Structure 1
């Protein structure tokens, strides 16, 4: 009885949250997209980049809401939502994938217009003061489709968890979940590929090779981590050690070791395939050195490196040790779990973006407030700040989280 009630509540939340989402889409379209003042200011290209296919997103969302409301009216206690999601997924895909993929152009266009056009800024701020906006800025409305499609996937995952196994309803919920996950995955890959190509083109214009030249621009290459570390060049047990700052660009296939120059340029002094790297944690203090040492073994030499914090040391070791091993969720009952208490947006490629209530299976923590873990909802691994997390102390809650994850993981196969 309790499980049936929970299932009803999750399904009903799909309906109520879609209604709220549609009201917000109405506001952004009617108050901003259809604004005569903005349409005078914006070129057709800027308008397309800024608003993308919001009208189409709104149309498919209203269609979804209308069908959900019909299902509720037909049978309020036993209505379903996943069959409707399956039916509408081709339309979702046609509007959401282009909208999500346009994100980087949308952000850049908005920022450029705010910085360069006083008239645009004046009109937007005036429109934001409209009471219908409830003091929310334009940017809050523009990111709604990103938030909604992720939220919808999580709601469907909850439906899968609460649906009786080996039933028609479970089969529908699993199919809907897979379709939404595939749509989000394809969007993320498209976004990532666009950003990676842009960053590789930018980096390519800033590097000179002191060693053998490596062609940088590749469709399959993506950045894993970058940053400055200290190389200890001539370490010995003397009072002083020779050292220099080096900059590492770690991609999924290659590592570049560079010296940073004026004007944001880099001189690459060495590079190697990731498959030929080996990293070693130095757990001891060496003479007068600070802690946070690790040794990076390259094909022709080994580098003794130091970071400014323990967190950066652990993150470099983790990034250089990829790929992550598969997790047997049936064998990690005693492993710590943490729950997100405040949303976090990833700032680096090795970080996870978290929504409130996301749960992490913790792999390690640094003394300066960073946590590496696997997000149970999609089994993605990365780092997040401890300040946005709290430890789950209940054994029962941890066990339930793992059981739900195993059910989702099994269903997704």
Structure 2
């Protein structure tokens, strides 16, 4: 740009210069933005190890040549240059004639700059999400089977505290409320409890596609002090132990309950799996629970995890329906016995 300015005060080729460098060299700005969180973390670690470094930085900041600006203001200058170039091209476009070569050159340079700015913004968002997951991983410990939380393809969807209706009754026959904390990622749900102010213990975890939520109205008679408008049922169809677990949860507000039910209901199904074949299979009849063995040619093996998860949800619905029918029969039988 300086060479162009020296040769031509009108800077007719300015947009061509910007486009050429944007297409060839400005990927370095994207890399710089990607590494900015590591710059900040490095400065933080250096300050903890050697407080004298922070004192030196404060002295430099007070210098008139720094205009009392912190170091972070200077570290962000490279990215600010990109945005200023974008503003420059936009102002050039305002003064160009419609359909002229200068307009076409400016538009081409602007499109290239916009791509760089968008790529930088994506990196900022991605690094923030990664930093958030690392922070969560550092403050959680697993009571159950552990798994690696930090992944470039994982991001946090929602987190928050809910009240859980306990499974055990107290001496008065009532069930009390205790607190749990949920971390919902795009592919995973962690059910945790607090351990101190900012530590969490993972009690249960499950793939997000194996989550089922419902209003949970079947146990209304067991609740005397809980607000039913704010309660819902969360079922983990197949947790890390390979079993089904269920939680009756209460949100702080009705709107929060609706939000949790919506985000938990959104399932992301995964890839296919491959399983070993056997000559005979053991199965259980859902109607009466009868178990037995049968030849494998009598059944079709499901190797798609999406179908497996769908069948797990269907199985749970069948079992719930069967339990309701049995409860009604038991109630009718008791009522009939009373009238005899």
Question: Which bracket does the TM-score occupy, shorter chain normalised?
Answer: 0.5 to 0.7
CA contact (8 A) 2:130 2:152 kept: no
Q: Once the two structures are superposed, what CA deviation does each residue of 1:1-57 show, in whole Å capped at 9, x if it has no partner?
A: xxxxxxxxxxxxxxxxxxxxxxxxxxxxxxxxxxxxxxxxxxxxxxxxxxxxxxxxx
The aligned counterpart of 1:257 is 191
Counterpart check, 1:305 vs 2:249? yes
Counterpart check, 1:207 vs 2:151? no
Unaligned runs of 5+ in 2: 238-243, 269-340
User: C-alpha separation between the residues in 2 aligned to 1:85 and 1:232?
Assistant: 62
User: C-alpha separation between the residues in 1 aligned to 2:180 and 2:43?
Assistant: 35
CA contact (8 A) 1:160 1:173 kept: no
Unaligned runs of 5+ in 1: 1-62, 325-413
Counterpart check, 1:195 vs 2:131? yes
Which of 289, 296, 300 aligns to 2:234? It is 296
Which of 79, 101, 111 aligns to 1:174? It is 111
For 2:26, what is the secondary structure of its paired residue?
helix
Q: Once the two structures are superposed, what CA deviation does each residue of 1:268-301 show, in whole Å capped at 9, x if it has no partner?
A: 332222123244589xx99744565444343235
Q: Once the two structures are superposed, what CA deviation does each residue of 1:158-207 show, in whole Å capped at 9, x if it has no partner?
A: 99999979x83545533442343235435654x35753674476367x22
CA contact (8 A) 2:130 2:150 kept: no
User: C-alpha separation between the residues in 2 aligned to 1:271 and 1:175?
Assistant: 44
The aligned counterpart of 2:305 is none
Q: CA deviation at 1:230?
A: 1.6
Q: How does 1:316-335 map to 2 (within 5 A)?
A: 316-317=260-261, 319-320=263-264, 322=266
- Alpha carbons of 1:131 and 1:263: their partners in 2 closer, same or farther (altered >3 Å)? closer
Q: CA deviation at 1:253?
A: 0.8
Counterpart check, 1:276 vs 2:213? no
User: C-alpha separation between the residues in 2 aligned to 1:196 and 1:113?
Assistant: 21
Q: CA deviation at 1:260?
A: 2.9
- Alpha carbons of 1:193 and 1:311: their partners in 2 closer, same or farther (altered >3 Å)? same
Larger mean CA deviation between 261-270 and 151-160 belongs to 151-160
Q: CA deviation at 1:93?
A: 1.4
TM normalised by structure 2 equals: 0.54
User: C-alpha separation between the residues in 1 aligned to 2:204 and 2:95?
Assistant: 53
Q: CA deviation at 1:99?
A: 2.2
For 1:74, what is the secondary structure of its paired residue?
coil
Q: What RMSD over aligned residues (CA atoms) do the two structures have, in Å? A: 4.8
Q: How does 1:356-395 map to 2 (within 5 A)?
A: none
TM normalised by structure 1 equals: 0.46
Q: CA deviation at 1:228?
A: 2.6
User: C-alpha separation between the residues in 1 aligned to 2:117 and 2:110?
Assistant: 11
Structure index of larger Rg: 2
The aligned counterpart of 1:243 is 177
User: C-alpha separation between the residues in 1 aligned to 2:132 and 2:195?
Assistant: 23
Q: How does 1:216-227 map to 2 (within 5 A)?
A: 216-227=149-160
User: C-alpha separation between the residues in 2 aligned to 1:136 and 1:232?
Assistant: 53
The aligned counterpart of 1:380 is none
User: C-alpha separation between the residues in 2 aligned to 1:264 and 1:198?
Assistant: 14
For 1:135, what is the secondary structure of its paired residue?
coil
Q: How does 1:121-200 map to 2 (within 5 A)?
A: 121-146=54-79, 149=82, 168=104, 170=107, 172-186=109-123, 188-189=125-126, 191=127, 195=131, 198-199=134-135
CA contact (8 A) 1:101 1:188 kept: no
The aligned counterpart of 2:10 is 74
Tell me the matched-pair count: 249
CA contact (8 A) 2:86 2:110 kept: no
